[in-house]
Amino acid sequence: SVATPLGQEEQGELPGVAVHCGRLTVEGMAALLADASLCIDATHPYAAEATRNIRAAAHRSGVELLRLLRSDSPLPEYAVVVTGAAEAAAYLAQTEGNILLTTGAKELAAYTALPPERLYPRVLPTLDGISACERLNIPHRNILALQGPFTRKMNEAMLEQYHIDILVTKDGGVSGGFAEKAEAARACGVRLVVLRRPEERGLTMEQVLTRCEERLQCN
């Protein structure tokens, strides 16, 4: 199950896999799980609301739930670590210079108090992403509507092209390209601000696969 057409496009077509596209309420998730024997929550580490809804839907449907955790990244000693977007915005208000925001379009509203000309949001190339930037009055020349993954060299090129002084990111792990952003920031002498991951419990990919195999054997 994916939330957007972009997610469906990324998933592609695989034998034996049916993809549901669209955001779901708890009731909608519970209906989707009606005939399932197992649910795996593989949402983004920062998608706390989605995880709460999935947990509620699985409980309502009586379906076993496994939470798949992405491996976290060792945070560089030079990083400024904050608890969330609001704290990041408060910190940035005390600084100067251009800011590359790589934390997604959903949290852009947290940076409303900052001068929009300082902000360079890197968002997905969708109408929702660009609209979120426009609502914040981000100059169109500052909107970087691109889809990753991004290499270290690509990140360095952006930092240099737009004269970035501060890079704001989440710890998305290997699949989120965190290391490539952190290394680019260090190479370019750019300050790195990291939104700390919410604490949660779950399983590794290997553990989830083992549980899936066990369930298949039981069936």
Give the pLDDT score at 156. 98
What is the percent of the chain where pLDDT is above 70?
A: 100
**What confidence category does residue 189 fall into, taking pLDDT thresholds of 50, 70 and 90?**
very high
Sign for the pseudo-dihedral over CA of 2, 140, 79, 179: positive
- Distances 71 to 2, 80, 104, 201, 202 between C-alpha atoms, Å: 21, 20, 20, 12, 11
Helix axes 178-188, 152-161, angle to 10 degrees: 50
pLDDT, tens digit, 9 for 90 and up, residues 79-109: 999 999 999 999 999 999 999 999 989 889 9
pLDDT of residue 93: 97
> Which pLDDT score is estimated for 61?
93
Output the six-digit token pair for 51.
């995880």
State the average pLDDT for the chain.
92
Segment 169-197 mean pLDDT: 91
pLDDT tier for residue 219 given thresholds of 50, 70 and 90: low
Query: Residue 4's pLDDT band (boundaries 50, 70, 90)?
Result: confident
- Name the band, by pLDDT with cuts 50, 70 and 90, for residue 148: confident
Predicted pLDDT at 184: 97
User: Which pLDDT does position 5 carry in this prediction?
Assistant: 85
Alpha-carbon Rg for the chain in angstroms: 19
Cβ-proximal residues to 114 (8 Å cutoff; 6+ apart), any chain: 89, 92, 93, 99
CA dist 43 to 7, 40, 70, 87, 101, Å? 12, 9, 9, 23, 21
> Averaged over 42-63, what is the pLDDT?
91
Look at residue 45 in the predicted model and tell me its pLDDT: 86
pLDDT class for 175, splitting at 50, 70, 90? confident
pLDDT for residue 218: 75
Alpha-carbon distance of 180 to 153, in angstroms, equals 8
Q: Is the pLDDT of residue 35 over 90?
A: no
Q: Helix/strand/coil (H, E, C) string of the chain?
A: CECCHHHHHHHCCCCCCCCCECCCCHHHHHHHCCCCCEEEECCCCCCHHHHHHHHHHHHHHCCEEEEECCCCCCCCCCCEEECCHHHHHHHHCCCCCEEEECCCCCCHHHHCCCCHHHEEEEECCCHHHHHHHHHCCCCHHHCEECCCCCCHHHHHHHHHHCCEEEEEEECCCCCCCHHHHHHHHHHHCCEEEEECCCCCCCECHHHHHHHHHHHHHHC
Region 157-179: what's the mean pLDDT?
91
Q: Quick: pLDDT tens for 65-78.
A: 999 998 888 889 99
Average pLDDT over every residue of 176-204: 93
The burial class, CB within 10 Å (0-12 / 13-18 / 19+), for 54 is: buried
